[in-house]
Amino acid sequence: MASDALVRDGGGSADAVGGGGKAKLFLLALVIVAIAEAIGNISIPMGAGKIVLLPLLWALLLGGALGLASPRLPPALRLTYPSQAAAAAYLQPALLIFIAKLGLLVGGSLPKILASGWALVFQEFGHFFGTMVFGLPVALLLGIKREAIGATFSVGREPSLAIIGERYGMDSPEGRGVLAEYLTGTVFGAVFIAVLAGLIASLNLFHPLALAMGAGVGSGSMMAAASGAIAAQQTPEVAKEVATFAAASNLVTTTIGTYFTLFLSLPFTVWAYGKLEPILGRNRPGAVREADPATAASGPVTAHPEVRIGLPETLVAWLLIGAYGLIGNWLTYGVVPDASVIAGMAIILGVVVVGWIIYLLCGRKLPAVLWVSIIGMALTYPGTPYAAEVAALTGKLNFLALATPILAFAGLSIAKDVPAFRQLGWRIVVVSFMANAGTFLGAAIIAQFFMHAPPA
């Protein structure tokens, strides 16, 4: 399943990008990954804490800058709108490689994860109610009306678009709100959550594994960015545990998230809006009325059909993105891609392919990330034949090196969303940041409580 993308009329097919255009896209992604990994980690002191800027953030920023500057660049560097939409479609192949690596990490640590008990179970309530608790009051104070419901009942990824679209319609205030959250998360989400997670981790207020569970927000790129920022400040062993718990939390969020948001988060947010709006939103101008002139001038923001890439293109993408991971693993972590390292990458790609095949055989009813995660965990689960050997080979590949290509393609796809994003105004950006902060901090606080609660 390809990633959902907002595309203009006439640009909704990957076929709109010829072979040369796709080759250029992957070449640009390679250059961005190489530059980002060469820059490496940069720490910026901030009071009692610090912010760690990782290669994956440089990749996102470089890709975004290239896309935004495209109209003024030479043709060889210019990214057309269909190319940017295709970059968004290639996010899914890149994400599955990362998920496979995390699944392989999780398998060996499943006993430890299960031993965490209620922390992993109840932190999900923080993920799904934290967005509303942090975001809804701010939205109302800023004068946003029913758009606040769509913007704060979740982090606004693809399932949330579908829920709001089915219940209210995408042209409703709630539809505009969830679309604003989606766009903000696409454009700024990974950068914001990485900076926030890195700063909170540096303050040593939370256990690293509680923060790791907070990082599993249900978005692959945001989870990669947040867990990477947390892991970068830990010892190598703790960093692996951070990746493991973040992946486990993200898997739980992904699998039950749709039902949780549909039956709990959305009804509760609607109820809270009815109670709080007369108090916090009284005599404040509505966001819809203020946005009407711009909307009338430039047309409504709508979601167009997703871009799809064929299976042959997906297979080529997996090979190329895997190679990018090897390059990043070499440049940043000093692991020369010898035969054993290449064998480890082959195992990861094999997990992706098998998981994808099962996904297709099951009629696409369950997400591909679920099958890929399960297969990865099964291969390294203690007691599985050759689990130790598989873990040793795949362990030579750092999970952060596999996250950088994800953010490179995300950056290359950003510029296409900017015109629609401008219609939504600055206030919705603030609300989105608060919602994203809420889902991370809410889950981390609950996980911290259960991890330090005295035994019964």
Residues 180-218: pLDDT tens digits? 787 777 667 878 888 899 999 999 999 999 999 999 887
Residue 263 has pLDDT above 90, yes or no: no
Asked if residue 317 is part of any domain, the answer here is no
- Give the residue among 294, 212, 307, 437 at the shortest CA–CA distance from 5: 307
- The residue range of the domain holding 186 is 116-301+423-456
* Structure tokens that stand for 169 in this block: 């319609």
In this predicted structure, what is the pLDDT of residue 109? 75
Task: Give the number of other Cβ atoms within 10 Å of residue 111's Cβ.
Answer: 9
pTM equals: 0.68
Based on its alpha-carbon atoms, the radius of gyration of the chain, rounded to whole angstroms, reads 21
DSSP string, 276-327: HHHHHSTTPPPHHHHHHHHHHHH----PPPPP---HHHHHHHHHHHHHHHHH
Asked if residue 22 is part of any domain, the answer here is yes
In this predicted structure, what is the pLDDT of residue 216? 86
User: In this structure, are residues 428 and 144 in contact, taking their beta carbons and an 8 Å threshold?
Assistant: yes
* Structure tokens that stand for 72 in this block: 């003024």
Asked if residue 6 is part of any domain, the answer here is no
In this predicted structure, what is the pLDDT of residue 302? 45
152 and 241 both lie in a single domain: yes
Residues 78-118: pLDDT tens digits? 888 888 888 888 887 888 898 898 889 878 877 777 776 66
223 and 140 both lie in a single domain: yes
Asked if residue 343 is part of any domain, the answer here is yes
Residue 326 has pLDDT above 90, yes or no: yes
User: In this structure, are residues 125 and 249 in contact, taking their beta carbons and an 8 Å threshold?
Assistant: no
178 and 289 both lie in a single domain: yes
Asked if residue 314 is part of any domain, the answer here is no
Residues 26-85: pLDDT tens digits? 999 999 999 999 998 887 776 656 666 778 888 988 998 998 898 898 888 888 888 888
218 and 292 both lie in a single domain: yes
Asked if residue 93 is part of any domain, the answer here is yes
122 and 103 both lie in a single domain: no
In the chain, the number of structural domains is: 2
Q: What is the dihedral of CA 258, 164, 191, 128, to 10 degrees?
A: -40
220 and 262 both lie in a single domain: yes
Q: Categorize the per-residue pLDDT at 160 as very low, low, confident or very high, splitting at 50, 70 and 90.
A: confident
In this predicted structure, what is the pLDDT of residue 207? 92
Asked if residue 309 is part of any domain, the answer here is no
In this predicted structure, what is the pLDDT of residue 2? 34
3-state secondary structure of 260: helix
136 and 120 both lie in a single domain: yes
429 and 405 both lie in a single domain: no
In this predicted structure, what is the pLDDT of residue 271? 94
In this predicted structure, what is the pLDDT of residue 1? 34
Q: Categorize the per-residue pLDDT at 455 as very low, low, confident or very high, splitting at 50, 70 and 90.
A: very low
153 and 172 both lie in a single domain: yes
Asked if residue 306 is part of any domain, the answer here is no
380 and 412 both lie in a single domain: yes
Residue 252 has pLDDT above 70, yes or no: yes
166 and 297 both lie in a single domain: yes
73 and 157 both lie in a single domain: no
